[in-house]
Amino acid sequence: MTDNFDYSFNITIVGSEQVEKSSIRKHFASNIELNTLYDPTIRVDFSSHIIKLDEVRIKLRFWDTAGSEIYPQISPAYYIKAHGIIMVYDVTDLYSFGILESYLSKALKLAEEKTKIMLVANNCDLIGNRKISYETGKEFADAHNLLYFEVSCKSHEQVEYAIVSLASLIVENEKRNEYILKQKNNSNVGSTHSREAARDSSKCNLL
Ligand SMILES: Nc1nc2c(ncn2[C@@H]2O[C@H](COP(=O)(O)OP(=O)(O)OP(=O)(O)O)[C@@H](O)[C@H]2O)c(=O)[nH]1
Ligand SMILES: [Mg+2]
């Protein structure tokens, strides 16, 4: 596949250790069977993937951060340069849910206002072990105006839908900003023209 694209977006994935951040990234890129061996991320893993939405080709550049606290905190650049941030928790792990506030406050402090943040609850296949209900997750997401999806890499549920939804929200936003910028430039050009026209007409009147 050629590397032609209309947009390129940085997507940063954060969340505590072993909440399946890397599984989500890998599953989305290749739709492979879940690798049950845990292979912890060391600092940051990267991969990119091109998707097509209504003839628009979008390159998603995933920055998949380590959840383990043994590594130094990730550089602020991963928040600052993100077009989208995926905050992941595990529905069977209360700690991973409790720590979301801290990831969110970093994201809100460092990321641009236009950056879209999505909350993803993973491990939904582990029904008997669930500790955080759909309603609790949704309440948190709604309170902070976040996109929200429950997924499972194991049963292949919703991973692709969640990421494509995030990408389409970012594209819509980019297109809106491009439109506003274009309108602004046009009105500036317009005002220059009218100033020139006014100068011209005053010249004519003087002659
Ligand atoms: N049951 C179940 N297990 C999963 C699912 N997704 C991932 N796992 C398992 O969870 C473990 C951890 O997954 P990772 O994706 O490496 O977790 P991580 O958040 O990237 O971990 P760090 O890089 O250490 O922060 C792996 O053993 C996966 O096989 C899922 O949807 N259901
Ligand atoms: Mg990882």
Burial class (CB in 10 A: 0-12, 13-18, 19+), 142: exposed
Q: Do you know the residue count of the chain?
A: 207
Bridge partners of residue 121, in order along the sequence: 89, 150
At 178 the pLDDT is: 85
- Inter-residue contact 87 to 70 (CB < 8 Å): no
Q: Does 123 contact ligand 1 (Cβ within 6 A)? A: yes
Q: Is the pTM of this model over 0.75?
A: yes
At 207 the pLDDT is: 37
CATH architecture for residues 7-176: 3-Layer(aba) Sandwich (3.40)
- Inter-residue contact 60 to 167 (CB < 8 Å): yes
For residues 103 and 68, which has the higher predicted lDDT (pLDDT)? Answer: 103
At 2 the pLDDT is: 55
CA neighbor of 47 nearest in space, from 18, 70, 67, 24: 24
DSSP state, residue 157 = B
Indicate the domain borders of the chain: 7-176
At 205 the pLDDT is: 43
At 206 the pLDDT is: 40
Ligand 1 pocket: which of 20, 124, 149 to mutate (most atoms within 8 A of CB): 20
The DSSP annotation for 98-153 comes to: HTHHHHHHHHHHHS-TT-EEEEEEE-TT-GGG--S-HHHHHHHHHHTT-EEEE-BT
At 90 the pLDDT is: 97
Q: Does 128 contact ligand 1 (Cβ within 6 A)? A: no
Q: Does 130 contact ligand 1 (Cβ within 6 A)? A: no
Q: Does 22 contact ligand 1 (Cβ within 6 A)? A: yes
CA neighbor of 124 nearest in space, from 40, 28, 30, 20: 20
Cβ-count burial 23-59 (b if 16+ within 10 Å, e if not): bbbbbbeeeeeeeeeeeebeebbeebbebeeeeebbb
Atom number of ligand 1 nearest to Cα 124: 31
Tell me: pLDDT of 143 over 50. Answer: yes
For residues 12 and 70, which has the higher predicted lDDT (pLDDT)? Answer: 12
The model's pLDDT over 91-101, given as tens digits with 9 standing for 90+, comes to: 999 999 999 99
For residues 109 and 178, which has the higher predicted lDDT (pLDDT)? Answer: 109
Tell me: pLDDT of 157 over 50. Answer: yes
Q: How far apart are CA 13 and CA 1, in angstroms?
A: 25
